[in-house]
Amino acid sequence: MQEVHCSFYKKINELDDGTYSIARYHAISEVPKLALWKQDIFTVLGRDLPRQKNREIIFYGEWKENIYKKRKSLQFHAERFKVLLPETKEAIQEVLADEVPGIGKKTAKAIVDAFGTDTFHVLKEPPKHETIPRIKLMAVRNFIKAEERKERLCYLMGTYDLKKGQARKVLKAFGEDATEMLDANIYNLYKAGISLADIEMNHEPSEEEKNDTIRIRCGIYSAITRLCKNKGHTFIYENDLINETYYVMHKSVPKATIMFALDYFKSQLVDESIVYEDGKFFLQEYYDAEMLLNKMIRERLGEKILSEDERAKMIEEINDLAREEKILLASQQQEAVIKSQIYNLSILTGGPGTGKTLTIDIMIKCFLKRGKSVLLMAPTGCATKRMISATHYENGGTIHSKLGYFLDDEFVANRMVNEDVVIVDESSMIGCKLFRDIFTQVRPDATLIFVGDKDQLQSIEPGQVFTDMIDSKVIPTTILDHIFRQGQNSMIPINAKLINEGNPKMIWNERDFQLIRIEGNDKMIEEEISKKIPQIYEMNYENREYSDVQLLSPLRKKFSRSGKVALTSTEYLNPVIRDLINPYATPDSKEYVETYGKRFYMGDKVLETSNSNINGIVNGDIGKIIKIDPKDFTITIQFDEKTVKYKKENFATLTLAYGVSIHKSQGQEYPIVIIPLMKSYHRMLTRRLLYTAVTRAKEKVIFIGSLAAFFMAVNDDFSEARNTNLLNLLTQKAQ
């Protein structure tokens, strides 16, 4: 491995796969003449290349030949790098002022005057100083530690071919012992949450390694992780885990050997990744989350009995508030409001049109009248915005924005919620870890109210906390089942209720619940649906906002596992719809950027698919491109009230959003939804999925496809039961 000393000149580009960047550097050590671009400048390719100015950088890697426009040159391919802290007073002062938060030029000079060229050595453990505030010295200490951490991350990434997020997990799991653990056995990476498939992308196991004990444990960990992620389980039964491990390891290890390896976890030996209890195998994080939830739910429970006079007085106060709003509450709604006022923890659930939002509105007014502060939260920005708009109460935000931040798409909950009352909407969408974060970050004496529709799709993340809490019957719960009007004589809530009950006898009409029927063989139906959806979209889009019409499909991916094009998938239909309705998407248009195999035009409707933490934009947020700069390769997107500029490196997480999967639509509402129906969807199109899609619509639902497929979905609920332990824990305690 060769070594080059240099300093940063400028960044050139990011390769289309998003993994490598290209930058130019000033050579400090000697480099081959063929590598020089001009004067002492040469080119480096690598991952997360450093861009700190006035810092010496050491790259480790090798020179490789490059041919561009018939001209040969050498480029340095960096496997890893080290960014050195400066040693001269002038350079130290510049780095302190430019790179350390909270340190300006004046303080930087004072620090260097006090500690000289030993500044970065001395301030690893800051001594007391008479004139320099300790908070400033601690800021420098934190900077030094962050630099050391970056160096270790870079070493792990280069030496073991890890991504940055994986390297962070390794450091968190092993700390200073990371190198020793991985040198001893690369499959120890599973203890840092890295799967067998990811490990063996860069490491081909030898015949001897295939039966290695730690590799088999890694396979077991990968199998339980995959089942939890794909099925929503928090634990796996032994036979299911053996079979899944067998396939995860590509049948390279006999099932009997896997059974023997499971004894390691059964024996209660120390392993911080998998827990065995009562015939169930848990990932540690889900085991801990459910155990903590059980404890914290129990701590919030307590009987509060009202006398008849107290109850009558409370009902009178609630009705007075309702009359001020010129509304009349049903008895179920009154009961929900009463429970919210007398219990620290309660649940409100019901389908569309049953008055959940109206009930929340009266709850809020009751709390405010009593001088309580209230916070509204929901899993998505759209759900939060809808909640705020309907209640006219402004103090609200997404759960993630109120509780913490994202680091490499992992959520870190570190903010305490200080309000007296927290109301959480769309609770069925929340997985067990985020539920845990809500309980831990909300004050123990605060009132917590969870609201949602228990019959919608469950959370994408493992767990079914909302359902388990309701089914436990230990938490005060109100179920709203009377349908009020959703618009004048709307069939949407009525038919949604029929779907949920397994009754396929819909009340069809062309006004708000329409079926465009196509029958025949699967291939013909798919082709016809694919042709008609863009036309239907265009017809309903006329004179409307970009967000008013939405295609909701069970399918997202353009290609099936067999490589066949899925003509009703959102990835296939999105560009087709865009080309039809976006006036900027023309063959001669220059108002676009293209990267990662995707093209974005001015005016495009786009979806953020990760928790990027770009100005608070989170997974599921939909916006419109309002500006494109092809020269700078940037796009500006309007997300509701937020305007955000995306650089090229952020494009990978954006996708077109004229159509989204039904799963991705959870927590959203659209005036008009279009839903394709095909028998070939098989077990994907379940009753719960259909119900979720229908309840996204405010004004009109348009089904297109096979009526037989609709009947299959309504009559046969293929939704698999989730393996979760919370219900068992709550009911055991209640007995």
Q: Give the tens place of pLDDT for each residue, 418-436.
A: 999 999 999 999 999 999 9
% of the chain beyond a pLDDT of 70: 96
Quote the pLDDT of residue 221.
Answer: 95
The reply to whether 56 and 154 lie within a common domain is: no
| Shared domain check, 564 and 417 | no
CA separation for the pair 506, 497 (Å, rounded):
10
Shared domain check, 328 and 423:
yes
Q: What is the pLDDT of residues 138-154, one digit of tens each?
A: 999 999 999 999 899 99
Residue 721's pLDDT is what? Answer: 87
Number of domains the chain is built from = 5
Q: Tell me: the pLDDT tens digits for 241-256? A: 999 999 999 999 999 9
- pLDDT band, residue 578 (cuts 50/70/90): very high
Give residue 76's pLDDT. 96
Residue 688 and residue 626 in one domain: yes
Q: What's the whole-number mean pLDDT along residues 31-36?
A: 94
**Single-letter code of the amino acid located at 136:** K
Task: Mean pLDDT check: name the lowest of 117-121, 485-489, 691-695.
Answer: 485-489
* Final residue before a domain boundary, out of 28, 59, 83: 83
Check whether residue 477 and residue 522 sit in a common domain: no
How sure is the predictor about 488, in pLDDT bands with cuts at 50, 70 and 90?
Answer: low
User: Same domain, yes or no, for 389 and 265?
Assistant: no
Instruction: State yes or no: pLDDT of 385 exceeds 90.
Output: no
Q: What is the pLDDT of residues 665-703, one digit of tens each?
A: 988 889 999 999 998 887 778 899 999 999 999 999 999
How far apart, in whole angstroms, are the C-alpha atoms of residue 525 and residue 677? 9
Tell me: the pLDDT tens digits for 313-371?
Answer: 888 889 898 888 888 888 999 999 999 999 999 999 998 888 898 999 999 999 999 99
Residue 609 clears pLDDT 90, i.e. is over it: no
Are 686 and 602 in a shared domain?
Answer: yes
Of 108, 143, 160, the residue that ends a domain is: 160
Mean pLDDT calculated for residue range 587-593: 86
User: Does residue 392 fall inside a structural domain?
Assistant: yes
The predicted structure's pLDDT at residue 340 = 94
- Give the three-state DSSP class for 67: strand
CATH number assigned to the domain comprising residue 471: 3.40.50.300
Average pLDDT over residues 212-230: 95
CATH classification at residue 19: 2.40.50.140
| pLDDT higher than threshold 60 for residue 18 | no
Residue 723 domain flag: no
Residues 118 and 72 grouped into a single domain: no
Residue 189 has pLDDT above 60, yes or no: yes
Query: Alpha-carbon distance 156 to 151, whole Å?
Result: 9
In three-state form (DSSP H/G/I as H, E/B as E, the rest C), the secondary structure along 344-388 is: CEEEEEECCCCCHHHHHHHHHHHHHHCCCCEEEEECCHHHHHHHH
Say yes or no to pLDDT of 47 above 70.
yes
Is 624 contained in some domain?
A: yes
Residue 512 has pLDDT above 90, yes or no: yes
- 347/214 same-domain check: no
pLDDT of residue 311: 84
| CATH code, 264 | 1.10.10
Average of per-residue pLDDT across 157-183: 91
Boundary of a domain, candidates 245, 277, 309: 277
Reported as a pLDDT band with limits 50, 70 and 90, residue 78 is very high
Residue 492 banded pLDDT, cuts 50, 70, 90: very high
Same domain, 14 and 48: yes
More confident site: 546 or 577: 577
Predicted pLDDT of residue 487: 52
Query: Is 80 exceeded by the pLDDT of residue 77?
Result: yes
> How far apart are the C-alpha atoms of 185 and 213, rounded to whole Å?
10
pLDDT at 324: 87
Whether residue 283 lies inside any domain: the answer is no
Highest average pLDDT, of 445-449, 640-644, 714-718, comes from 445-449
d(CA 255, CA 503): 44
**Contact assessment for residue 25 and residue 9, using Cβ atoms and an 8 Å cutoff:** yes
Residue 547 vs residues 55, 529, 530, 707, 723: alpha-carbon distances, Å: 48, 22, 21, 28, 37
Residue 51 domain-assigned?
Answer: yes
| 542 and 654 co-located in one domain | yes
Q: Is residue 110 part of a domain?
A: yes
- Identify whether residues 586 and 457 lie together within a single domain: no
Q: What is the pLDDT of residue 693?
A: 95
Please indicate, yes or no, if residue 680 is contained in any of the structural domains.
yes
Quick one: pLDDT band at residue 307, thresholds 50, 70, 90?
A: confident
Q: Which domain holds residue 146?
A: 89-160
652 compared with 674, residue with greater pLDDT = 674
pLDDT band at 114 (very low <50, low <70, confident <90, very high): very high
What pLDDT score was predicted for residue 667? 81
613 pLDDT band, cuts 50/70/90, is low
Q: 264: closest CA among 210, 198, 219?
A: 219
pLDDT of residue 561: 77
**Predicted local confidence at residue 614, as pLDDT:** 67
- pLDDT for the residue numbered 718: 61
Stronger pLDDT, 526 or 18, i.e. the higher one: 526
CB under 8 Å to 288, separation ≥6 — which residues?
A: none
Tell me whether residue 292 is in a domain: no
Q: Which residue has the higher pLDDT, 175 or 619?
A: 175
